[in-house]
Amino acid sequence: MTQAFEHEYTIAGAPSGSQVALTRQSIVDGLERITIELQFPAAIVPPPIKLNWTHPICDIHHLWHPGAGRNRVLSADWATGFRTRATYNAPVGCLFNNRGRNRMTFAFSDALHPLILKAGVNEETAVFKCEVELFGEQAVPLLEYQAELWVDTRNIPYYESLLQVEQWWSSMPGYEPAEVPQSALVPMYSTWYSFHQKLTPHEVEEQCRLAQQLGCGAVIVDDGWQTSDNNRGYAYCGDWLVSPDKIPSLKAHVAGIHELGMDYLLWYSVPFVGKESKAWHALKDKMLYVNEELAAGIVDPRYPNVREYLIRIYEKAVSEWDVDGLKLDFVDTFRLPEKVEKAELPFHPNMDYVSVPEAVDRLLSDIMTRLKGLKPSILIEFRQSYTGPMMRKYGNIFRALDCPSDSLSNRVRTLDLRLLSGNTAVHSDMIMWHPSEPTASAALQIINVLFSVPQISVLIDRLPEDHRRMLGFWLKLWQEHRHVLLGGKLEPEHPELLFPLVKATANNEICYVSYGQNVIRLDRSDASYLLVNGTLSDSMVVRVQEDMSKRIMRIQDCQGVIVSEANIELRAGLHEVGVPPAGVITIL
């Protein structure tokens, strides 16, 4: 049943003499769009202007937004909201109840410019004071502004409400997502956790040979290829010349990876120009700001020659070295320096943009366009939290934020990304574990990211044999069920409990992964089931909705060893089924 709440929307903070118009459009019962139109008396840098409304706290227990991480709590109305811009998070929040039902999802059409969104508890009235703050970091004069607010109070699963927000954004001109090659949807090997900056072609190629045998289709060569310095700083970024001490011939190295049947992606920290680079002397006066801790500056993309400098670097990687993709890092640092966030940013005659967000949009759009001209299947990876709706047109891979060895965070981050990313390939953070880890415990690293594309970053030749069998089993199982895990209808339950049970359905195939002591509902007698034990317990509980005719039930341990297989009849009711820790039940 749709919630019958009537919102009153108001605008606060518009300068004197401004014309303000709010227009409501009902899409369906419980879903409306509000158009905000502002006209200023002259071209001005607007002060912060707020779009406000309230919503009763009725059957609402939690708040989800893209940057929430493990924290889905309700905040007070005096607390800070969450910030978004093209290269940071996404302008959407979802208030939901303990049953995972949507109670109010709100989203904004302007994902390019900096915003602050809030749904805060008002102590005096037990309502949410909701707000979208515009122009808090504005530094460009405007004469007019128009955008839309999406408000959904329908009683539907929270993930369906978020899916429709994603579809709304994707339909907007200028927000069209990039095509996703099939090569973005295969497991990848990453050098970051396994090598960090200590790269050698032979060792990387050996790990790739082993990874390819286990099912990986690409390698991401991360930081370190461009410098002989291994101190993990950014003082030497900016020139992007291959360090001859590490990789004497990058073209030959890429060719060696291609001979293994794998794609090759190369890491770049896009905005950073280090003080020890040659580029520093040419670009030091064209910086948005300098980060002394990083010993690097963040270049100003409003200069066309700065954008051209960066794009030509990436074109060289594709045309001369034949790389198949780029991992473009730290694009969220393209922002206004704090000292001018509330004032007009100085403009130089050699700039062709006044707005930093618009210049970043031009840079990232041009990178994708020009690289696709060289290689139509180009792969571009961005890291959470630069994974909002506009980022989907600049790249086709979104990776979870770094969480080494933290399988729970990897699960939460990949599923949060899946909720808003449509068909963009969502990848896990690189999976790693200690070689002496118990095998079932190590298996949890990959089980927690089954609903994303796994990235692996361990030295495979140093793993015990049982770890290698485990890794090979799970990567093979993932490949066999990828059409369900990635392409099926995704239903992640209880985001406030960090998704303890996740379901995916494709036609007559259903996959459940249980990350706690859950009861799994087998409510379709015509379906086959894959039930994954994402815990170290030795059983799973299923509730059979109606009698199921004779089926084959296969039970495997975390290395794929079949511990039992039998023809069974599942009667309606509760059943506890023995299954090894991190094991699998298949019902055919």
Asked if residues 130 and 118 have their Cβ atoms less than 8 Å apart, the reply is yes
pLDDT computed for residue 136 by the predictor: 85
pLDDT computed for residue 337 by the predictor: 77
Q: What is the pLDDT of residues 543-565, one digit of tens each?
A: 999 999 899 999 999 999 999 99
pLDDT computed for residue 200 by the predictor: 94
Q: What is the CATH number of domain 489-587?
A: 2.60.40
pLDDT < 70: residue spans in the chain: 1-4, 338-345
pLDDT computed for residue 549 by the predictor: 86
DSSP state of 184: G
Q: Helices 439-447 and 465-480, interaxial angle, to 10°?
A: 30
Place of tokens 């990635």: 486
How far does Cα 137 stand from its chain's mean position?
Answer: 24
CA gap 379, 370 in Å, rounded = 13
Homologous superfamily in CATH for domain 182-399: Aldolase class I (3.20.20.70)
Please name every residue paired with 272 in a beta bridge, in sequence order, or none if there are none: 298
pLDDT computed for residue 345 by the predictor: 63
Peptide bond into 385 cis (omega under 30): yes
Pairing between β-strand 218-221 and β-strand 188-190 as defined by DSSP bridges: parallel
Within 10 angstroms of residue 205's Cβ, the number of other Cβ atoms is 17
CA gap 78, 162 in Å, rounded = 26
pLDDT computed for residue 1 by the predictor: 43
The tokens describing 513, both together, are 């992964």
pLDDT computed for residue 2 by the predictor: 46
End-to-end CA distance of the chain: 36
Amino acid in the structure at residue 104 = M
Concatenate the DSSP letters of all residues of 440-502 into one string: HHHHHHHHTTTTSB-EE-S-GGGS-HHHHHHHHHHHHHHHHTHHHHTTSEEEEE-GGGT-SEE
Place of tokens 């949009």: 361
* Fold agreement (182-399, 489-587): no
Torsion from C-alpha of 301, 304, 308, 309, nearest 10 degrees:
-60
Residue ranges of the domains in the chain? 10-170, 182-399, 489-587
The tokens describing 367, both together, are 């990178």
pLDDT computed for residue 413 by the predictor: 98
The tokens describing 361, both together, are 């949009």
